[in-house]
Amino acid sequence: MAVANWREYLAGLVPQFLRGYWGSRFVGVIGLMADSVATGAAEALRVSWLLESTSPDDALPLDGSEKRMPRYPLETAASHRARLVDAWNAYEHAGLESAILSQLTAAGYPGCTIEFDSAREGPHGEAAPYLSQFWVRFPVGVCSPGSNWDSFNWDDGTAWDTSLSFAAVSTLRSIVNHWKPADWCFRGMLFAQAVGDDFEVDNF
């Protein structure tokens, strides 16, 4: 006969003298402990099944760490869950330009492009052409260079401000470095401005 839980199973297993008022409660407590362990084990088993309705959002950081796909600062839990579910397809395209751009879009930065400039010196002053070096260009509006833009000489010790936080810059760098081809040299990020030159943030 099928039973619903351990309490029901034990109730049908014990002798008659344990089926009275106090005996049934004693056996019921033992069954309740077994049911609690069984419920916990079942939930622990299903917690990583991201498509299950019982999968909680606090399981996402663990799954993201395992798949090396952390949640981006601007990303919702639902979007992160969908990205983790699609991890196999994402890694199938890892090392392609499209993988970098799709991950930047997921992080909340759509409209980016990859640009190569072999005419510039290499990252450590190597003579041109340096064919594998590339930059990621962000569209206008992603980053403002701040009020003191062009008001000082670069490398003179002046602190400059931007609308892009250090955490955001670190996230963008990690995304590109993680998804780029191994033989490409990521030089930095170019933030297009409505007026004037691009605002560049080096990767080194």
Per-residue confidence at 11, pLDDT binned at 50, 70, 90?
confident
Residue 17 domain-assigned?
yes
Asked if residue 175 and residue 100 are part of one domain, the reply reads: yes
> With 60 as the cut, is the pLDDT of residue 124 above it?
yes
Strands 199-202 and 133-138: unpaired
CB contact at 8 A, 40 and 46: no
1 lies in some domain: no
What's the token pair of residue 66?
A: 């395992």
Please tell me whether residues 29 and 124 are part of one structural domain. no
**What mean pLDDT comes out for the span 162-181?**
87
- Position 143 scores a pLDDT of 74
Q: Is residue 156 part of a domain?
A: yes
Residues 171 and 198 in one domain: yes
What pLDDT shows up at residue 80?
95
What's the rounded Cα separation, in Å, for the pair 137 and 153?
24
Phi then psi dihedrals of residue 138, to 5 deg: -105, 145
Q: Are residues 85 and 184 in the same domain?
A: no
Is residue 190 included in any domain, yes or no?
A: yes
Q: Where are the alpha helices (DSSP H) in the chain?
A: 6-13, 21-46, 60-66, 77-85, 87-92, 97-106, 166-179
Looking at the 3D structure of the chain, how many domains does it have?
3
Same domain, 25 and 60: no
Domain match, 88 and 156 both: no
Do 39 and 133 belong to one domain?
no
161 or 30, which is more confident: 30
pLDDT of residue 128: 86
Q: Whole-prediction pTM value? A: 0.71
Whether residues 152 and 104 fall in one domain: yes
On the question of pLDDT at 19 being above 90, the answer is no
87 and 125 in a common domain: no
pLDDT digits (tens, 9 = 90+) for 176-194: 999 999 999 999 988 888 7
pLDDT tens readout for residues 38-50:
888 887 777 788 9
Are 197 and 108 in a shared domain?
yes
Q: What is the mean pLDDT of residues 29-56?
A: 85
Which residues constitute the domain of residue 86?
56-92
Average pLDDT over residues 129-149: 79
**Residue at 139 is within a domain:** yes
Same domain flag for 192 and 99: yes
Mean pLDDT value of segment 157-185: 83
Is 1's pLDDT higher than 60? no
**Do 60 and 111 lie in a common domain?**
no
